[in-house]
Amino acid sequence: MSLTIYASLMCASCRHPTLHLFHERRLQKPPAGDPAFVDLIYVCEGCETERVWGSEPKPQPKRRRSAREELREHAVAVHGMRVADCAACLGVGLSCSSCDDRGSVWVFDSLDPCGPDCPLPVTGGGP
């Protein structure tokens, strides 16, 4: 995101345009709820009076995708994971331990690890 470090702005104290230096971002205080924007605070170089000049959306904390989400995405993209009717109860989902009564199960094209970094839990393992 681009940021102007200084600008010539009207200063309320000096009563004429002065050089203002970027000072800080400050969360807006909305009447209710979370502030969604930050004000950009600039300070007059002459008298150090602060003023707001512009605002920008509050930076969202970078949402880290959970390992579970990544695993799921990987499984769908690489291993062809999809929902299918549970074979044990034929999709009815009543008192079925195979699908936990959901009637559907995840099926995969392949559960073999696609590489050394495959995050899928190794299943089977043979007898």
Residues in the chain: 127
The neighbour count for residue 43, using CB atoms within 10 Å, is 20
Phi, psi of 20 (to 5 degrees): -115, 135
Using CB under 5 A as the binding rule, whether residue 88 contacts Zn ion is answered as: yes
Using CB under 5 A as the binding rule, whether residue 40 contacts Zn ion is answered as: no
Using CB under 5 A as the binding rule, whether residue 35 contacts Zn ion is answered as: no
How deeply is 119 buried, as exposed, middle or buried, from its count of CB atoms within 10 A (0-12, 13-18, 19+)?
middle
91-110 residues in contact with Zn ion (CB under 5 A) are 96, 98-99
Which residue number, 39 or 81, has a Cβ lying nearer to Zn ion?
81
The size of the interface with Zn ion (CB under 5 A), counted in residues, is 17
Site string for Zn ion, 61-80 (x = CB under 5 A): -----------------x--
Could you tell me which residues come within 8 angstroms of residue 116 by beta carbon, excluding any fewer than 6 positions away?
Answer: none
Q: Which residues bind Zn ion (CB under 5 A)?
A: 11, 13-14, 18, 44, 46-47, 49, 78, 86, 88-89, 96, 98-99, 114, 118
